[in-house]
A and B are shown apart, each in its own frame.
Chain A
Amino acid sequence: MPAISFQSVSKSYPSPRGQQGGTFLALDQVSLDIEAGEFFGLLGPNGAGKTTLITILAGLARASAGRISVMGHDVQTDFAAARRALGVVPQELVFDPFFKVREALLFQSGYFGVQHNEAWVDELLDNLGLADKADVNMRALSGGMKRRVLVALALVHKPPVIVLDEPTAGVDVELRQTLWQFIDKLNKQGHTVLLTTHYLEEAEALCGRIAMLKTGTVVALDSTSALLSAASGNVLRCSVDGTLPPALASQARVTGRVVQLPASDAVAVEQYLAQLRQAGLQVQDIEIRRPDLEDVFLQVMQQHPGRDDRVAP
Chain B
Amino acid sequence: MTGWQMLLYKEVLRFWRVAAQTITGPILTAMLYLLVFGQALESHVKVYDDVSYTAFLVPGLAMMSLLQNAFANSSSSLIASKVMGNLVFLLLTPLSPWHWFVAYVGAAVVRGLVVGTGVLAVSLLFAVPPLAQAPWAVLFALLGAALMGALGVVAGLWSEKFDHMAAFQNFVVMPMTFLSGVFYSIHSLPPFWQTVSHFNPFFYMIDGFRYGFFGASDVSPWLSLAIVASATAGVGLWAFLLLRMGYKIRN
Contact = CB atoms under 8 A, between A and B. Distances in A.
Contact of A59 (B85, B89, B92): B92
Given A60-B88, A92-B85, A97-B84, A83 B1 contact: no
Nearest to A115: B1
Contacts of A90: 88
A113 B251 contact: no
Interface stretch (A103-111, A215-223, A270-278, A304-312): A103-111
Interface stretch (B6-14, B42-50, B145-153, B211-219): B6-14
A62 B86 contact: no
A94 B2 contact: no
Nearest to A88: B92
Nearest to A153: B89
A112 B93 contact: yes
Contact of B14 (A13, A60, A84, A98): A98
A79 B86 contact: no
Interface bin, chain B:
20 to 34
Contacts of B5: 110
B90 interface: yes
Contacts of B246: 62
Interface string B79-101: 00100111011111111100000
Contacts of B85: 92, 94
Contacts of A141: none
A110 B81 CA distance: 18
Contacts of A60: 88, 91-92, 250-251
A80 interface: yes
Given A60-B88, A94-B85, A94-B88, A110 B1 contact: yes
17 contacts: A60-B250, A80-B94, A81-B94, A94-B85, A94-B86, A95-B84, A96-B89, A98-B18, A107-B6, A107-B7, A108-B89, A110-B10, A111-B6, A111-B89, A111-B93, A111-B94, A113-B3
Given A59-B250, A107-B10, A112-B3, 5 more contacts: A94-B89, A110-B7, A111-B3, A115-B1, A154-B92
